[in-house]
Amino acid sequence: MKTKQIGSLDVTVVGLGTNNFGLSMEQPEVDRVVDRAIEVGINFFDTADSYLASEERLGKALKGRRDQILIATKFASPVGESKGGASPAYVRQAAERSLQQLGTDRIDLYQIHRPDPETPIAETLGALGELVREGKVREIGCSNFTGKMLDEADRAVPDGSPKFVSVQNNYNLLHRDDDSDAIAACERLGIAYLPYFPLASGLLTGKYSRGESPPEGTRMHRWGDRAAGSLTDKNFDIVESLDAWAKDHGHSVLELAIAWLIAKPVIASVIAGATKTEQVSANAAAAEWELSASDVAEIEAIVEKAGG
């Protein structure tokens, strides 16, 4: 699988998101998914300390293969009785906990999961810089930051401290708010962009049908009434149009959604979750479809037209 750079890290263009490892999976299921990911060439695994048992289960699944892969994790969200945050003291506490949970001596990409309005970003960056100098963290990034926040962080870096090399935000063919915001900032600052929810919580896989209840076991089914905001006629119009275009080109709408993201130069790796081995294989296969600039333009025109 092709790779791109996140700072000094050479990551595969499709990564594995592990949110479900702690929420809905047990260790044997995690082991199978991780094994398949490595088999198909994925080397980038993204987790967080707030994903319940995700870090611990990922660490166990990767035992004996640590040097083959890159681990990204996050801090700042509430964990247990802790409210989280990004104060220097909490940064170190969270990092030590994640290192222990993962069973490793370093975190390849350590990301602040969400902005902390109570802590100046310079203080957070200073604490992260200490972890880098100690060898406990290799690169640092952020998540759920706006373009303005990225600019502020870039200006606030203490002398001699590392800068954010990545931002991980919600971005897909149905949710493109970052086009004129965080993505524009990434291009300006030389920061890698990591999209989460690349398949729009399953809408861009074709598993949901207009006018039908979400299948049991799916994310939209678990959301209950909250899913109504996503399962709209407008979104189905877009997905059905994209599905037709993908089939005309010999691919699935899932492959289209991931290939479109990979075609964006600023995007380093698509964080795609999976609970089954076949999902891992499908996500990885999408990386083989290389879209041209004209393909990308055509796809985006379809979205604009179908979305009205």
196 in catalytic set: no
C-alpha distances in Å from residue 152, one per residue of 30, 149, 175, 181, 291: 38, 5, 24, 13, 34
* Bridge partners of residue 195, in order along the sequence: 169
Spatial separation of the C-alpha atoms in residues 6 and 173, rounded to whole Å:
23
State the residue for tokens 């964990």.
79
Query: Which one of the listed residues 51, 110, 171, 208 is annotated catalytic?
Result: 51
State the residue for tokens 């957070």.
124
CB 4 within 8 A of CB 269: yes
Parallel/antiparallel/unpaired status of strands 44-46 and 14-17: parallel
DSSP 82: B
Show the tokens assigned to 164: 């954010």
Closest by alpha carbon to 210, among 237, 172, 177?
237
The one-letter amino acid at 260: W
* Bridge partners of residue 4, in order along the sequence: 11
Show the tokens assigned to 41: 């060439």
Map residue 167 onto helix, strand or coil.
Answer: strand
CB 226 within 8 A of CB 295: no
Within 10 A of 58 (CB to CB), how many other CB atoms are there? 27
* Bridge partners of residue 44, in order along the sequence: 70
**Residue 137: in which H helix or E strand, if any?**
strand 137-143
CB 39 within 8 A of CB 65: no
Active site residues: 51
